[in-house]
Structure 1
């Protein structure tokens, strides 16, 4: 089995290369045709400054003029293109980008004048806070609730909880966030929680316990807005997985042998029913860090990876767009591979055939 598993991992790693290359190539090609790039934005900024200078000169009665009134001259345009690397042919820029990515150099931001790695790492605390707490709270509530619903399937408890979690699933996170701010964030009613950020302004002066409490206090509203819609998927998946196992022949046999319901549920059903959930942990755990809601971050003034990616697209900060895309795609591919390997670790019955797939 080990040899087949190693061959499968090797083939999957080889397949990651064309997948990653395809994503980067497609994005790079689209960027070449998107209007309003960094060169055009700089030209518009210079023209705007020129028009402002002319207006100031005319209002003061002076006869000064500015060439921005007629546009940016050719020499300045060449300087701008050289500044952003657009003075080189497309194919040369493309292969230079691939060379950098091969050495895990994500490049330098056009506008923030920092490396993409530095920017990503600076936003990670916010994304880790939101992602980790969202993951933990979702699974710690949804799995026990799903088990309880499976055991009591068809009862009033099952019906009532299904209605509640489906209502929560139907409410968008940002709408709930606005409602929470209005009710508890100093809107029209109570001010129980802060409006923005993960820490207070005096956080550095607080004691260790005070810092922890202040951090958790700031997380209540954004985490509540983030996790409410996540309960439905995991809860229903857990319930259906347990119901499927409960109806199998080995459960009927275990009951016929006189085993108690608790022993049947926790010793036999639990181990098999948790396989699809446990194997999804790696992708859910990693994905929670890099799929933060832009609207939640904006609503609660949280400067995370979601807001960073959005601003990069709006400002046409191409190194930041391509660098973060490359990093997140690579992490996604590796996480998917780890999830597949987790099947073998959780359930040894799963084998990898000679073709490199699961049998």
Structure 2
């Protein structure tokens, strides 16, 4: 198992590096920067909006130098060909040089400049390899520190909702596949179909209206994580406080993702129950529960693993939307703020974190494949 795991991780590292490089370069190529929006604009918020143009330009130059944005973007840069200047009104020596360029077609070739290690990408890559993702343009705080503070709420929200959704989908599918589950199928499938057709933000707003509204039932808080500091509470009190504020976002994620996952798991189990091994197990006198849980479920694991590996990235996206609606201080809310303020170091760090999470999910899916079917493990060795 360990060689198999090591092989998958070694394949994931180049993919993660390529994705991080693409995100970094694309974020720097977007029009407009945080400094130009906050320092050079006349209507920009802050102290420099009332300064002179010279003060703004000086502050802008100092900011670009401090953040390293005055350096070239990559190791090399390509300048487009500028064409050939006119030979009229030139000195004889200059006219001769222009004629030489005409004969060699050198004026059609773009100029390539090599910048060495003094570029933005090299500095960011070296820092990222040492765990330093730069500083936020908006808060001037280290990006790694900001991510570590925000990832706690997102991690627990994602983990608990994922476990609850998968456990409910698996148990509901097992109950519906049994002969006694006809009434459950008739009642549950229409509910799942209706819930699946509701967008996540609409579902979140409905939960807020019905479960966090004094006019209906005010069982949960509307938004946020409460006004407290962890030093004021014990570990148990902090856990209860977090659970109280995160109950409604978790319920929203579970209800939004449960229909899709339940339908897929139920279809996989239904296919497994029609196979020959299930009929053989029933012919041997095994009970229905033993056939479903002991035979059909194990053989249905491969498609279920595929479904779950595709389901996890979608759950991450849904978590970001829910965090924004419920004002949960997590990675999703930080991502929205980074996009609106053009805070590219934070944006790059969050995308890198999401990409790493997705690659880890795919590696875990490969490991689960090998565990569920030993033949796959033998083929990869």
TM-score, normalization by structure 1: 0.81
The answer on whether the counterparts of 1:170 and 1:229 sit within 8 Å (CA) in structure 2 is no
In 2: Cα distance, 1:200 partner to 1:43 partner: 33
Residue 349 of structure 2 is aligned to residue 323 of structure 1 = yes
Residue 33 of structure 1 is matched in structure 2 by 29
Q: Kindly report the root-mean-square deviation, in angstroms, between the aligned alpha carbons of the 2 structures.
A: 3.2
> How much does 1:207 deviate?
7.6
- The equivalences for 1:64-213 within 5 A come to 67-68=52-53, 72-73=56-57, 75-91=58-74, 92-152=119-179, 155-186=182-213, 188-199=215-226, 201=228, 212-213=239-240
Instruction: Tell me how many residue pairs correspond in the alignment.
Output: 336
**Where do 5+ consecutive residues of structure 2 fail to align?**
75-118
Residue 16 of structure 2 is aligned to residue 20 of structure 1 = yes
The answer on whether the counterparts of 2:204 and 2:252 sit within 8 Å (CA) in structure 1 is yes
Structure 1's 15 and 28: CA in aligned 2 closer, same or farther, altered over 3 A?
same
Q: Which SS does the other structure have where 2:132 is aligned?
A: coil
Q: Deviations over 1:180-219 (max 9, x none)?
A: 2222323543323211223465997778766554443323
Residue 250 of structure 2 is matched in structure 1 by 223
Residue 297 of structure 1 is matched in structure 2 by 323
Q: Which SS does the other structure have where 1:197 is aligned?
A: coil
Structure 1's 211 and 119: CA in aligned 2 closer, same or farther, altered over 3 A?
closer
Larger radius of gyration: 2
> How much does 1:302 deviate?
0.8
Structure 1's 324 and 200: CA in aligned 2 closer, same or farther, altered over 3 A?
closer
TM-score, normalization by structure 2: 0.76
Q: Deviations over 1:96-150 (max 9, x none)?
A: 2222222232222122222112111111221123112211221221111111222
Residue 269 of structure 1 is matched in structure 2 by 296
- The equivalences for 1:339-354 within 5 A come to 339-353=365-379
Structure 1's 298 and 151: CA in aligned 2 closer, same or farther, altered over 3 A?
same
Residue 286 of structure 2 is matched in structure 1 by 259
The answer on whether the counterparts of 2:166 and 2:261 sit within 8 Å (CA) in structure 1 is yes
